[in-house]
Amino acid sequence: MRICFTLRVRPDRIDEYRARHREVWPEMRAALSEAGWRNYSLFLAEDGLLIGYLECDDFDAALAEMARTEVNARWQAEMAEFFVGDGNADERMRPLDEVFHLDRRALGTTMSVKDALREQRIETPSWAYGNSGTRFKVFAQQGVPRTPYEKIDDAAVVHRLTGVAPTVALHIPWDKVDDYGKLAEYARDRGVAIGAINSNVFQDDDYKLGSVCHPDPAVRRKAIGHLLECVDIMDATGSRDLKLWFADGLNYPGQDNIRARQDRLAEALRETYERLGDDQRMLLEYKLFEPAFYVTDVPDWGTAYAHCLQLGEKAQVVIDTGHHAPGTNIEFIVSFLLRANKLGAFDFNSRFYADDDLMVGAADPFQLFRIMHEIVLADALTPAAGIAFMLDQCHNLEPKIPAIIRSVLNVQEATAKALLVDHEALTQAQQAGDVLGANAALMDAYNTDVRPLLRELREEMGLDPDPMAAYRRSGYAEQIVRERVGGEAAGWGA
Ligand SMILES: [Mn+2]
């Protein structure tokens, strides 16, 4: 919160008051900072009117915290004689009502930073709520959802606490139900909606040599049938996006005809594309390698882009941040695809060596900031711009719901920093060829602590300023462990 208060300095002591404040004791400065007084200023008018301004989480708490310190008692004792009236200054600080406030305008938009953050939407994945693991072992956790309905319950909790995660992506067949309309209604009743439908053509024995690129037409027909079924599910749930990822590839040179596989891929994509409704999109994901070791049929953004370009407007590329070689400049890809109007969505996560689906912002928060900077520059942050910001993560070691909340907060923090870039300073420095100045404009924003701003925003949205703490306090973690007994926990292949 921002606090402004007034006090009155005796007109005959003004000069001395100014002099004393040129040399505020270091221990007094430290005590104020520790008590949560941030960005604190005092302004003095010639007639003795003193105006104080500070930012803090809770003004009463900040005052009480100072009142407990010995240094404050000493400082106030020495200052008391400078003020008009009795008692020490702290006791007479009465906050004024704020009647107008103009936020800093967000870079690249006509909105304020807070309004842009308020409109941000982050989609959570149903599979992140279920059990997951490595190729070697799935470690089960207690309280994990047993049905798609329970996954939606958890997603609704994340949205209730963060206020910016109103959709949940489904994965078919992991989230197969008899009545998708009913599932969508269940989600709506809990304040969330169904997001992207993720297809799965990699878990049947038939797909050992590929799915839509398989040499056998019968297997290809089965795979395409699944993709079309996913579009039916989109119709039933009101979902806009069909997300496609293919594990297709080859392990050995000579195993199959690389070019023929591209033809088969193009054919399957075309048939699925033709089935899409007017308001539906196809999002094509790429992945550098895995599970195939020699050739991957959609290995990179260039391949995904080329196929989407041939298909038409409703086909766009998904950037999964974990699906690149180490050192790949992802913000270049973001910028290129934005310019071509072919960026449809993100699958956010982090990875250190290869794709690990760690929490977004965990491995490289600076990279996430650079990505969001490109988004903000292109004015592509708002839902109206059509880019879906989705998480695609698994939480093998850490508890799942708080990890997803943390991930949403990480995306918000990177976005807030990107919104704080001083557009004018950046452009001026770029045009003047001022390399260091331009870099400084970015780094200043990146190095800003945006957590107070986000806490303030959440309060304005009627949320708890600290969603992690609010989740711990809610008792939901204990409740699901208590209630979700019996049945089979959801997980890969469920
Ligand atoms: Mn992904």
DSSP line for 351-412? -SSS---BPTTTS-HHHHHHHHHHHHHTT--SGGG--EEEE----SSS-HHHHHHHHHHHHH
Question: Residue 13 Cα, ligand 1 centroid: separation in angstroms?
Answer: 67
CA 89 / ligand 1 centre spacing (Å): 57
> What is the distance in A from the centroid of ligand 1 to the CA of 229?
20
Q: How far is the CA of 478 from the centre of ligand 1 (A)?
A: 30
* Each residue's pLDDT tens digit, 47-91: 999 999 998 888 999 999 999 999 999 999 999 889 988 767 777
Report the separation in Å between the CA atom of 26 and the middle of ligand 1, taken as the mean of its atom positions. 51
Tokens of 236: 């039933």
Ligand 1: distance of its center to the CA of 367 in Å?
Answer: 17
For 196, the enclosing helix (H) or strand (E) is strand 193-198
User: How many CA within 13 A on the CB side of residue 419?
Assistant: 29
| Cα 370 to ligand 1 centre (Å) | 20
Of 61, 95, 129, the residue that ends a domain is 95
Q: Ligand 1 centroid vs 453 CA: distance in angstroms?
A: 30
pLDDT at residue 109, as a whole number: 56
Expressed in angstroms and rounded, the spacing between residue 356 Cα and the centre of ligand 1 is 11
Most confident of 20-24, 95-99, 237-241: 237-241
Cα separation of 182 and 202, whole Å? 27
Is the pLDDT at 174 greater than 50? The verdict is: yes
Mean pLDDT computed over 211-226: 98
CA of 492 to the centre of ligand 1 (A): 14
Question: Ligand 1 centroid to 243 CA: how many Å?
Answer: 9
Query: For residue 473, what pLDDT is reported?
Result: 98
Domain assignment of residue 358, yes or no? yes
In sequence order, which residues have a C-beta less than 8 Å from that of residue 455 and are 6 or more positions away? 57, 465, 466
Look at residue 447 and tell me whether its pLDDT is greater than 60.
yes
CA of 392 to the centre of ligand 1 (A): 5
Its domain, for residue 196, covers: 113-483
DSSP, collapsed to helix, strand or coil, labels residue 69 as coil
- Let me know if residue 266 belongs to a domain: yes
Asked whether residue 117 falls in the same domain as residue 91, the answer is no
76 and 180 co-located in one domain: no
Residue 489 counted as domain residue: no
CA nearest neighbour of 118 among 360, 459, 365: 459
- Residue 87, in any domain of the structure: yes
Neighbours of 270 (CB within 10 A): 16
Distance 133 CA to ligand 1 centre (A): 15
The lowest-confidence range among 56-60, 296-300, 461-465, 483-487 is: 56-60
Separation of CA 321 and ligand 1 centre (Å): 8
Please give the Cα distance from 6 to 220 (Å, whole number).
Answer: 75
Residue 394, pLDDT > 50, answer yes
Domain boundary among 95, 122, 144: 95
**Rounded (10°) angle between helices 476-483 and 148-162:** 170
Asked whether residue 90 is domain-assigned, the answer is yes
Distance 357 CA to ligand 1 centre (A): 8
- 491 within domain boundaries: no
The alpha carbon of 106 and the centre of ligand 1 are apart by a number of angstroms equal to: 29
CA of 287 to the centre of ligand 1 (A): 8
- Ligand 1 center to 136 CA (angstroms): 20
Residue 79 sits in the same domain as residue 185: no
- The rounded distance, in Å, linking the Cα atoms of 21 and 411 is 40
Q: From ligand 1's centre to the CA of 406, what distance in Å?
A: 19
- 300 and 415 together in one domain: yes
- The CA distances from residue 95 to 2, 44, 82, 457, in Å, are 10, 17, 20, 20
Q: In this structure, is residue 492 part of a structural domain?
A: no
SS3 6: strand
Within a domain: residue 101?
Answer: no
Same-domain pairing of 85 and 117: no
* 3-class SS of residue 291: coil
Q: With the CA atoms of 333, 214, 268 and 241 taken in that order, what torsion angle do they form, in degrees rounded to the nearest 10?
A: -50
What's the total number of domains in the chain?
2
Q: Name, in order, each residue with C-beta under 8 angstroms of 191's C-beta and a sequence gap of 6 or more.
A: 156, 159, 160, 166
317 and 425 assigned to the same domain: yes
Packed helices 476-483 and 467-474: angle between N→C axes, nearest 10 degrees = 40
Q: Are residues 90 and 120 in the same domain?
A: no
Domain final residue, candidates 44, 64, 95: 95
CATH number, position 270: 3.20.20.150
Judge if 331 and 436 occupy the same domain: yes
Judgement on whether residues 191 and 232 belong to the same structural domain of the protein: yes
Q: How far is the CA of 347 from the centre of ligand 1 (A)?
A: 5
CATH at 45: 3.30.70.100
Both 53 and 126 in one domain: the answer is: no
Amino acid at 415: T
Residues 137 and 63 in one domain: no
- Side by side, the strands of the sheet bearing 94-95 are 38-44, 49-55, 2-8, 94-95
Q: How far is the CA of 132 from the centre of ligand 1 (A)?
A: 14
- What 3-state DSSP class applies to 124? strand
pLDDT at 225 over 80: yes
Where do the H-state alpha helices sit in 163-257? 180-189, 217-237
At residue 494, the pLDDT reads 45
In the reported structure, the alpha carbon of residue 424 is separated from the centroid of ligand 1 by a whole-number distance in angstroms of 35
At residue 95, the pLDDT reads 86
Instruction: Return the structure tokens found at 227.
Output: 């993709």
155 lies in the same domain as 82: no
Please check the confidence at residue 493 and state whether its pLDDT lies above 80: no
211: nearest Cα among 269, 289, 171: 269
Helices (H), 420-450: 423-431, 435-446
Q: Residue 237: name the closest of 287, 168, 340, 323 by CA.
A: 168
Rounded to the nearest angstrom, the distance between the alpha carbon of 100 and the centre of ligand 1 is: 44
- The torsion defined by the Cα of 228, 229, 230 and 232, in degrees rounded to 10, comes to 100
Distance from residue 344's CA to the centre of ligand 1 (Å): 13
**Kind of pairing, strands 343-348 and 388-391?**
parallel
What spacing in Å lies between the alpha carbon of 414 and ligand 1's midpoint? 20
pTM for the complete prediction? 0.82
Ligand 1 mean position to 332 CA, how many Å? 19
- Interval between CA 350 and ligand 1 midpoint (Å): 11
